[in-house]
Chains A and B, each alone.
Chain A
């Protein structure tokens, strides 16, 4: 009988690891040097948080941290699909960053009251570092929302492209009923989704971005994206998961339907996951048992 806490740890860790991996791909490329430095620290934070979560998981699971990070098969990963999407351009990256970091904030605050002591302690540290992530994301949100027409347009498009997968951050995780009844998860994913939608919905409305939540996200055509080898490819992003219904009720955005498909939380990933996984893990897997 497997420990349900492993399911929570793996979902949290994989979100941070895969998103951290994507963010770290920007290091050296960002077309604004000071911002390159800030984003790189944020990437390192995410990877460091993944490491801390996998350290806790390794006590339950038995595999060591690097085995968990780099030795699992693709189907074992439980990150939301949002995290694995290629960086596309900077507007996309900042839109994803904003949506993700607010979601992370909502779930971490809830986990502060988890019955799982080691997780609670790690979460306290994460929240201290996430404060900066939110400040950074919000600062860019407002700068782009209030910026030149082209910037605002690109950012709105990027938000539309990412919102569907962002909602799926809150798809229920494996073993969630047991986790909720044990108090490991003090609040359900659906409950957290409601809070997040309320929060971002309000900010989107304030900036006049309400079409982001009301229209269906169109597949976005990615622009030049610097991959690990620096190869430039145009990416066309389709949406794997049909965005579930969100409606405005009494002036607030709420989630009104269940998730129509299954995504990352069920171990189903997009076409972008396998190349990412392959690149991230190839060297590790080529030398079993080696120390680096």
Chain B
């Protein structure tokens, strides 16, 4: 008997998420059983099973995305841009440089 991890997508719009696991003798049984263990309430557009031993986790997950300052590649690095836009727009208006063509 092997443990199979079960992944599913609720609708086509959703990402694949981990739904749980089951024990089964082989792949065929895993496929047959996964549906009724995890999706008998009609909760899935797709369902996948993977033998747990075939899942490998990447080492040092706590350093993924970097440990030093990575704000330059995240939204939080650009929090002030809206205010900057406002300031520059007002400056240009004052200098008579704004344009309208209607």
Report how many residues on chain A are interfacial, defined by Cβ distance under 8 Å: 14
Q: Does A129 contact B (CB under 8 A)?
A: yes
Q: Mark A104-139, 1 if CB is under 8 A from B, else 0.
A: 000000000000000000000110110110010000
A125 touches B68 (CB 8 A): yes
- Shortest CB distance B60–A (Å): 6
Chain B contact residues: helix, strand, loop or mixed: loop
- Please determine whether B68 and A48 come into contact, CB atoms closer than 8 angstroms: yes
Specify which chain A residues have a CB less than 8 angstroms from the CB of B60 in the assembled complex. 128, 131-132
B-side contacts of A101, CB under 8 Å: none
Q: How far is the CB of B80 from chain A (nearest CB, A)?
A: 13
The secondary structure that dominates the A interface is helix
**Chain B interface residue number, banded:** under 10
A41-B66, A48-B66, A51-B69 given; 16 more Cβ-contact pairs under 8 Å: A45-B68, A48-B69, A49-B68, A52-B68, A52-B69, A125-B67, A126-B68, A128-B60, A128-B63, A128-B67, A129-B63, A129-B67, A129-B68, A132-B60, A132-B63, A135-B59
Q: Which B residues form the contact surface with A (CB < 8 A)?
A: 59-60, 63, 66-70
Could you list some 26 contacts between A and B, CB below 8 A?
A41-B66, A44-B66, A45-B66, A45-B68, A48-B66, A48-B68, A48-B69, A48-B70, A49-B68, A51-B69, A52-B68, A52-B69, A125-B67, A125-B68, A128-B60, A128-B63, A128-B67, A129-B63, A129-B66, A129-B67, A129-B68, A131-B60, A131-B63, A132-B60, A132-B63, A135-B59
